[in-house]
Amino acid sequence: MAFTLSGADVCQPTLPTPIPDPYWVAFSSSAAKLIGLEVDDSGLPQDPTWLGLLAGNQLVANNQHFLNPIATAYSGHQFGVWAGQLGDGRAILLGDIAGQELQLKGAGKTHYSRMGDGRAVLRSSIREYLCSEAMHSLGIPTTRALSVVGSDLPIRRETSETAAVCARLAPSFIRIGHFEHFSTQQNIARLKELADLVMKNHYPECMNAESPYLDLVKKISARNASLVAQWQAVGFCHGVLNSDNISALGLTMDYGPFGFMDYFQIDHICNHSDQAGRYSYHRQPQIMHWNIACLASAMLPLLELQEESETAMNLLRSALDEFSDVYTQQWQALFRQKLGFKTTQEDDMKLLERLLQLLHDSRVDFTSFFRGLGNILTHESVEKILLRNHFVNRELIDKWFTDYVLRLKSENSIDEERKLFINKVNPKFILRNHLAQRAIELAQRKDFSEVQKLNAILSKPFDEQLEYAEYADPPTPDLRAIEVSCSS
């Protein structure tokens, strides 16, 4: 639903800055269905005026008019430090279409750009496009990417690159930073207006709760706890879990220096700028919980409208405790499924913890390993399990496989049925950094075929797609050093 708050303290009218000679880089016919946008046989909009709209060069496409675009104000914590007012520095919200907000990322300066140019480059735009759509196909809540429009306009980052505009869709782009913004300003009226808007449009069940604002915190907390459990289950690392990058709807958003783990490392860092490892793989649940605590702190003034201050704080502390319960339950359920278990047994988590340690010690490819579990035949000896060849300590992994097979046998499952089950929860294809980099390098030479091909493969991550088997392979040693930073 459209962002309906108004006023200079909330948002600023912002016209996109046109780019010269725009051209299509990528377009998601899947995301287009969300807004009823019809495409032709080439997979592009039937109406050619959409190119100008999604480039930021015009505000009308066919019968769609977006005459009041805005950039919104928000604040937040960045790398654990209060950063004050931030806002949409390079995102412009065009408006609402079919219940989805349409936002242009990289369409020029806004009131909140500070020292930035408001632009995005082709490299980061392609990465966001591919990952947004890949996450959707994995069944993980996310903002969507409708398109990438390119231009030869030069943009300076570490080197000279070319400009691009990524069009994004979401029911709402409201983030925890919006709540922090008004709370820090002690603007309780605006804070209440924002919370009421979010409840009305996205959490209507909260409006009838005994304590609506407390219930809203719990609901947002639960969605994000479930979200981060889903990230862990596919080895996804966000890279910059600042409070202003956390969705109030529990969506994965603001794709920057993200990465899917290849070779498993419990403390894997995907963001080259994160030298302290604040946002490493194993810390993501803790950091998400910390961000929910930021939300709870921001919402305290609204609870104090109904409760004594101490009572309100105690209620929020209790609500925060529920995050861990939701996360743990979801994480355990997901990893049981990844192991092919349909029942719950007491020692399952001990078995999983042993496995994760062995994966870490031998740097085994996370995605390929879990996918390969479906090939295990319970009547064969452990020595015939090919996955064991990826581990350094054969004695320990053989002991683990022995215990694992016994656990599988306890369910009396049929190998063929279990393989189908495992392959439905363990993807074969993920957006590996080296695959994205190859698509980007070709795109920088005006060859966008690999972006299209990769998007098509990732749209069916659980299918075998034997003709694209090489896209499931982990990177060779020479491709493991690809680094991604906050620069985009």
Q: What angle do CA 177, 312, 80 make, to 5 degrees?
A: 30
Token pair listed for 9:
């303290």
CA distance 178 to 288: 16
| Distances from the Cα of 194 to the Cα of 319, 386, 461, angstroms | 20, 55, 37
Asked whether 69 and 92 are in contact (CB, 8 A), the reply is: yes
Q: Euclidean distance between the first and final Cα of the chain, in Å? A: 28
Element (H, E) at 481: none
Amino acid identity of residue 327, one-letter, is: Y
CA distance 337 to 107: 42
Q: How many CB atoms lie within 10 A of CB 90?
A: 21
3-class secondary structure, 403: helix
Token pair listed for 25:
């880089």
Strands 236-237 and 64-65 turn out to be unpaired
- Is 244 marked active-site? yes
Active-site entry in 244, 254, 274, 365: 244
Asked whether 194 and 174 are in contact (CB, 8 A), the reply is: yes
Asked whether 316 and 217 are in contact (CB, 8 A), the reply is: yes
CA distance 450 to 391: 33
Token pair listed for 260:
């899917």
Q: How many CB atoms lie within 10 A of CB 451?
A: 21
Among all residues, which ones are annotated catalytic?
Answer: 244
